[in-house]
Amino acid sequence: MNKTIQTVESAAAGSAFLIEDIYPLIDSGRFAVKRIAGERVEVWADIYRDGDAVVGAALIWRQEQNREWQSEPMIHHGNDRWSAAFTPVEPGQYVYAIEAWTDEFATWSHGVARKQRMGADVSLDAIEGAGLLTKAHGAPQDAATFIVKQCEDYLQTGDVAPLLAAELGNAMAESQSRPDLTRSQLFPLTVDRDKARFGAWYQMMPRSQSQVAGQHGTLRDCIARVPDIAAMGFDVLYFTPIHPIGRTRRKGLNNAPVATEGGPGSPYAIGSPEGGHDALHPELGTIEDFRALVATCLEYGLELALDFAVQCSPDHPWLTQHPEWFKWRPDRSVRTADGLYSDIVIPDFASVDRAGLWNAFRDAMLFWIDHGVTIFAIDNHDTAPFPFWDWLIRDIRRRHPEVILFSKTFARPKLMKGLAKLGFAQSFSYFPWRTTKWELEQYLGELTRYPERDFYRPNLFVNTPDLLPYHLQSGEAWAFKSRVALAATLSGSYGIYSGFELLEHEAIPGREEYLDSEKYQIRQRDWDRSGNIKSYIAVLNRIRNDNAALQQTANLRFIGIEDSETIAFVKEATDLANTVVIVIALSRHVREFWLPLGDVTVDAGGQRHHVTTLENLLTGEQSRIEWGGIRLRIDPDRDPALLFRCLA
């Protein structure tokens, strides 16, 4: 009998409301939705209860470390669908939730109004309504004064009208008790600064920046290159690892298993007797040189990004200082990576002293943050476990919410998405291998739909030190221009690896790798040699900076044109104030086609209007739209991309 009573009481104490189908949400709230500081966070949900009582609802949010909630009333849109929005102004970790309750006074008011329309006597209802006013508490002074006045007016006249005033309903909504208040679970939100959404990255090998043949480059040589990189419109200067390089099993030219005398080795084999992850390669210079580089970058509007690889060479100091952090073979030799990476040792992230290992990597990152680095590209991180990345990202962001971590793995699609869910602000993509029209439309469609668009921010690199795609190996200028135009306009963030602007295209036969890769040797270049496309890249970056629609990725829609070798799409700024149309040739042949624009609209004065004019963003020429579209011609040898601003 007692058990039955307890069961009934437990059921009776349950929530009166169901809060369902919440948007945005990643895996039922297990992982954080991502937004940019200053960007509106719009939340939708189905909220309902039994009966016909009037429901009140609010969206509440706060920074994770704060205790005080902020609140915004939710708006009912019909069929129990509600929405509200808030705008976090600072980067950091937030939580949000939805609250629902029965608005007793509004329920009473609606019932009385309904009875009045039917001609029923409401005198007893009026007494009940006046009684509800006596339960008001905690109202602001003006609202409390108004509640008292309306109550007195009713008591003096006996007329229910003062109790039905709309202003009284508003005052009571904030001050009446909410005995059945129901709160959803807390949902996480990561808010990054704008660089996580929009940036143009230039990656280079610091040791290859000397202008003297065969001479190891220095950080001072890198400083000399900053003006040229800034002139191309890049705002992130991204370095391959800058740490001491191991000598044991040092790789030679083109990844030969043995280096020649004096060979520099791969910078990804981190660590030597000179130091590890918190040290500079001696030939690059001093920490004072590094500080000077950071200052020069800031002077020219660039931020410095560093490769951060969770791997070591066999000569890394940690192997002797902390042998328990590594795996050892029966002959007491350290276990190295297999195959092409025999100069690398992967630490044992599950070692008996994993806390010490994890803290050591974290402290190395903090060292570079203290020296002005706010962006890290995490390399080879699919070898470390999810719990490590979850912990590291949360710890770094708690201390430095301005820091951006870029996941640059080429791993399996679901692994890449899983790492993005853990909190990486940006992720590498399969863009280098998406070349046909249908591949690009399918892949970018995948990344810009829900829920991917709420946790996965792609950074479209056209090439990397590890990758020279087959479609660039012909060295044709139109192909290089087409690919960089695609990357720069499809995504808010994109990047090139140095040499791309010089149309470098010599590959190891049959492979997507550079011949004589500077991963294993030092190179010098004439950065202004004939045939370069530096000015073309500069124009693309200028247009990106001038058009907010190109500074984000999610608001992307492809336009259907009857040409399989030409791709077209429209992008719209987050605030709807800027709309652009992009058309890019995917082959070298001259193209002529009809571009339909009948369903493309632009915002003008807060209203949507069909586009009437296209403004060429390169020439400034304006073309009128007739019959819902326009006929265009592309000559890829001149320029494979047409970029337009839409005007009403």
Tokens linked to 265: 């080795």
CA dist 393 to 18, 113, 201, 386, 407, Å?
Answer: 34, 55, 22, 11, 11
The yes-or-no verdict on residue 208 having pLDDT over 70 is: yes
Q: Are residues 264 and 411 in the same domain?
A: yes
The yes-or-no verdict on residue 376 having pLDDT over 80 is: yes
Q: Are residues 152 and 113 in the same domain?
A: yes
The yes-or-no verdict on residue 245 having pLDDT over 90 is: yes
The yes-or-no verdict on residue 467 having pLDDT over 60 is: yes
* 8 Å CB contact between 192 and 34: yes
What is the torsional sign of CA 535, 539, 545, 548?
negative
Reference 373, options 404, 394, 331, 406; nearest CA is 404
Q: Are residues 157 and 87 in the same domain?
A: yes
* 8 Å CB contact between 371 and 336: no
Q: How confident is the model at residue 11 (pLDDT cuts 50, 70, 90)?
A: very low
Q: Is residue 230 in a domain?
A: yes
Cα 239 vs. chain centroid, distance in angstroms? 21
Instruction: Determine the Cα–Cα distance for residues 15 and 25; give it in Å rounded to an integer.
Output: 21
The CATH number for 564's domain is 2.60.40.1180
Q: How confident is the model at residue 240 (pLDDT cuts 50, 70, 90)?
A: very high
Q: Is residue 321 in a domain?
A: no
Q: Identify the weakest region by mean pLDDT among 134-138, 353-357, 391-395, 484-488.
A: 134-138
* 8 Å CB contact between 157 and 57: no
Q: Are residues 89 and 205 in the same domain?
A: no
Q: Is residue 324 in a domain?
A: no
Instruction: Determine the Cα–Cα distance for residues 488 and 461; give it in Å rounded to an integer.
Output: 9
The CATH number for 433's domain is 3.20.20.80
Q: For residue 163, what are the contacts with CB-CB under 8 A and spacing of at least 6?
A: 109, 112, 126, 129, 130, 133, 150, 151, 154
Q: For residue 445, what are the contacts with CB-CB under 8 A and spacing of at least 6?
A: 558
Q: Are residues 304 and 425 in the same domain?
A: yes
Reference 153, options 145, 141, 161, 142; nearest CA is 161
Query: 591-596 and 601-604 as β-strands: parallel, antiparallel, unpaired?
Result: unpaired
Instruction: Determine the Cα–Cα distance for residues 588 and 566; give it in Å rounded to an integer.
Output: 10
Instruction: Determine the Cα–Cα distance for residues 150 and 158; give it in Å rounded to an integer.
Output: 11
Q: Does 214 or 422 have the greater pLDDT score?
A: 422
Q: What pLDDT does 17 receive? A: 94
Q: Are residues 140 and 206 in the same domain?
A: no
pLDDT digit string, tens, across residues 13-72 = 457 899 999 999 999 999 999 999 999 999 999 999 998 899 999 999 999 999 999 999
Q: Does 406 or 574 have the greater pLDDT score?
A: 406
Q: How confident is the model at residue 2 (pLDDT cuts 50, 70, 90)?
A: low
Q: What pLDDT does 13 receive? A: 44
Q: For residue 250, what are the contacts with CB-CB under 8 A and spacing of at least 6?
A: 258, 259, 263, 265, 266, 269, 343
Q: Are residues 147 and 16 in the same domain?
A: yes
Of 527, 550, 573, the one marking the end of a domain is 550
Q: What pLDDT does 342 receive? A: 87
Q: Is residue 296 in a domain?
A: yes
Q: In the block, which residue shows the tokens 């895996």? A: 27
Q: What pLDDT does 401 receive? A: 97
Q: How confident is the model at residue 5 (pLDDT cuts 50, 70, 90)?
A: very low
Q: How confident is the model at residue 10 (pLDDT cuts 50, 70, 90)?
A: very low
Q: Are residues 436 and 382 in the same domain?
A: yes
Q: Which long-range contacts (CB under 8 A, 24 or more apart) does 171-174 make?
A: 171/136, 171/139, 171/143, 171/144, 171/146, 171/147, 172/105, 172/106, 172/132, 172/133, 172/136, 172/147, 173/56, 173/103, 173/105, 173/106, 174/139, 174/140, 174/143
Q: What pLDDT does 173 receive? A: 84
Q: Is residue 428 in a domain?
A: yes
Q: Is residue 331 in a domain?
A: no
Of 191, 224, 240, the one marking the end of a domain is 191
DSSP letter assigned to residue 283: G
Q: Is residue 319 in a domain?
A: no
pLDDT digit string, tens, across residues 217-233 = 999 999 999 999 999 99
Q: Are residues 101 and 214 in the same domain?
A: no
pLDDT digit string, tens, across residues 348-368 = 999 999 999 999 999 999 999
pLDDT digit string, tens, across residues 251-304 = 999 999 989 888 999 999 999 999 999 999 999 999 999 999 999 999 999 999
Q: What pLDDT does 383 receive? A: 81
Q: For residue 263, what are the contacts with CB-CB under 8 A and spacing of at least 6?
A: 250, 251, 252, 253, 520, 521
Q: Are residues 440 and 526 in the same domain?
A: yes
pLDDT digit string, tens, across residues 179-207 = 899 999 999 999 999 999 999 999 999 99
Q: How many domains does the chain have?
A: 3
Q: How confident is the model at residue 9 (pLDDT cuts 50, 70, 90)?
A: very low
Of 510, 525, 550, the one marking the end of a domain is 550
pTM for this predicted structure = 0.92
Radius of gyration of the chain (CA): 31
Instruction: Determine the Cα–Cα distance for residues 376 and 391; give it in Å rounded to an integer.
Output: 16
Q: Is residue 153 in a domain?
A: yes
What is the arithmetic mean of pLDDT over 117-139? 87
Give the mean pLDDT of the chain.
Answer: 93
Instruction: Determine the Cα–Cα distance for residues 637 and 590; give it in Å rounded to an integer.
Output: 8
Q: In the block, which residue shows the tokens 């003096």? A: 156
Tokens linked to 203: 């990656």
Query: What residue numbers bound the domain in which 8 lies?
Result: 3-191
pLDDT digit string, tens, across residues 301-342 = 999 999 999 999 999 999 999 999 999 999 888 888 776 788
Instruction: Determine the Cα–Cα distance for residues 29 and 454; give it in Å rounded to an integer.
Output: 12
Q: Are residues 510 and 566 in the same domain?
A: no
The CATH number for 160's domain is 2.60.40.10
Q: Are residues 162 and 205 in the same domain?
A: no
Give the SS3 label for residue 406: strand
Q: What angle do CA 513, 518, 522 make, to 5 degrees?
A: 160
Largest CA distance in the chain: 104
Instruction: Determine the Cα–Cα distance for residues 365 and 243; give it in Å rounded to an integer.
Output: 13
CB neighbour class for 183 (10 Å; exposed up to 12, middle 13-18, buried from 19) = middle
